[in-house]
Amino acid sequence: MTDMTSSVLAECLRPGDRVLIGQACGEPLGLVADLLAQATRLGNLHVFCGYSLNPAWEGPLPDDLHVTTYCGIGTMGKLLARQGARLVPSSLSQLSAQIRSRKLAVDVVLLQVTPADEEGYHSLGCAVDYAWDAVQVARQVVVEVNLNMPAARGAPRLHCSKVMVARQIDTPLLESLVEEPSAIQLQLARNVASLVPNDATLQLGIGSLASAIAGKLQSRRGLKVRSGMVGDWFLSLVASGAIDTVTPNACMGSLAVGSQRLYKTLSGESLLGFAQPAQLAQPLAASPLMAINSAIEVDLTGQVNAEWLGERYVGAVGGQTDYFRAARASAGGLAILALTSSTARGKSRIVPHCNRVTSTYCDVDVIVTEHGVADIRATTLQERCELIAAIASPDHRDSLLQSRQS
């Protein structure tokens, strides 16, 4: 292990290098600050960064730093909006495969990790994703050791002889706090919860809707988790007794994104373990996978847009398609799309036709709004149209049906 100062980037980066930065809690804030400060001197660097909570990306970027991302949420979304980054539209499974095959080239990886254990291993903590694939193919891995990064159960480990340590810090992990769910979201959550039986496996995202859905599942028992992102909703399910505490590895995630309260529970003994997305997006024996995802809009055939708001990229493919397909391969599983029927301004989120499609009409089993549940399995296009229009806002149902007839 080499302990170095902030000059580590100047020593290990070369002009034209392709740098992959860990996402969420895996993003090393100090190293990113160094990169932004030194980019002009280092020259012509290509950076890939996914979901980020780091406000540093909101400021001006050096001309010699070329940023790409798969993600339109968090601070990367703001960077895309002002054309400071370019988009690589990919699912998480595609990103891992492209990195492993070197189609998406990576020379240097920047990560935030735990302190080394007695055997000299740093854990990736609560951020386990395509960065681990990048570690296997990169020329150099540079880490920032954070005393607050939990040594999470199951997370991959890096031996200190394989990394450069830029610095050790004692900085709280960045939080993503959730607003209280609205009354409409709570009704939507009730409808979703009606589909989830005891002993099911849950895939949820983060945000107020995920929190609302978890809140309506607290009376269930034996629930398992396989989820790319896990928020504070997990703590509420544990506290209510809904989570399976007996089956080994019953609950696994890839990224923890929430409050300090969540992060502090993620020790090696935590009920929540961590694994790469490819290990999670697959059926479990004797436990139906309920893949619950949201979107910006859905059309009357069941096509889903989870990425684009007009011409602005504000979402991501993420794991939606991976988990939907895993759910449909699971005995008794469901690919569930959950969204409020209208925007805050009253615009229908059920539309005649999606111009941009994230998940196809072959990927979705059930669509849920606050007005009800549309089970579109084994339906004709005409039947789908009627079922989906029936769960739209009453203000828009007639016009939606007329749009399909014209």
pLDDT tens-digit readout, 230-277: 999 999 999 999 999 999 999 999 999 999 999 999 988 899 999 999
Given a contact cutoff of 8 angstroms between Cβ atoms, the answer to whether 135 and 104 are in contact is no
Point out which residues pair with 3 in neighbouring strands: 165
- Average pLDDT of the residues in 186-205: 98
With a cut of 80, say whether residue 1 has pLDDT above it. Answer: no
Q: Which long-range contacts (CB under 8 A, 24 or more apart) does 83-89 make?
A: 84/57, 87/313, 88/48, 89/307, 89/317
d(CA 249, CA 233): 18
- For residue 160, the model assigns a pLDDT of 96
Q: Mean pLDDT over all residues of the chain?
A: 95
- For residue 321, the model assigns a pLDDT of 96
Range from 6-20, 225-239, 279-293, 375-389 carrying the lowest mean pLDDT: 6-20
- For residue 5, the model assigns a pLDDT of 47
pLDDT tens-digit readout, 314-361: 999 999 999 999 999 999 999 999 999 999 999 999 999 999 999 999
Predicted TM-score (pTM) of this structure = 0.95
Query: How confident is residue 3, by pLDDT bands cut at 50, 70 and 90?
Result: very low
Type of residue numbered 201:
T
With a cut of 50, say whether residue 2 has pLDDT above it. Answer: no
Residue 69: exposed, middle, or buried by beta-carbon count in 10 A (0-12, 13-18, 19+)?
A: buried
Point out which residues pair with 27 in neighbouring strands: none
Range from 1-5, 15-19, 152-156, 177-181 carrying the lowest mean pLDDT: 1-5
pLDDT tens-digit readout, 88-140: 999 999 999 999 999 999 999 999 999 999 999 999 999 999 999 999 999 99
- Average pLDDT of the residues in 46-72: 96
With a cut of 90, say whether residue 157 has pLDDT above it. Answer: yes
Other residues' Cβ atoms within 10 Å of the Cβ of residue 194 = 11
- Average pLDDT of the residues in 204-224: 97
Range from 5-9, 24-28, 64-68, 381-385 carrying the lowest mean pLDDT: 5-9
- Give the rounded percent of residues in the chain with a pLDDT score beyond 90: 93
- Average pLDDT of the residues in 172-200: 97
Type of residue numbered 305:
N
pLDDT tens-digit readout, 268-297: 889 999 999 999 999 998 999 999 999 999
Query: How confident is residue 6, by pLDDT bands cut at 50, 70 and 90?
Result: low
Chain position carrying tokens 């034996």: 222
- Direct distance between the N- and C-terminal alpha carbons of the chain, in angstroms, rounded to an integer: 68
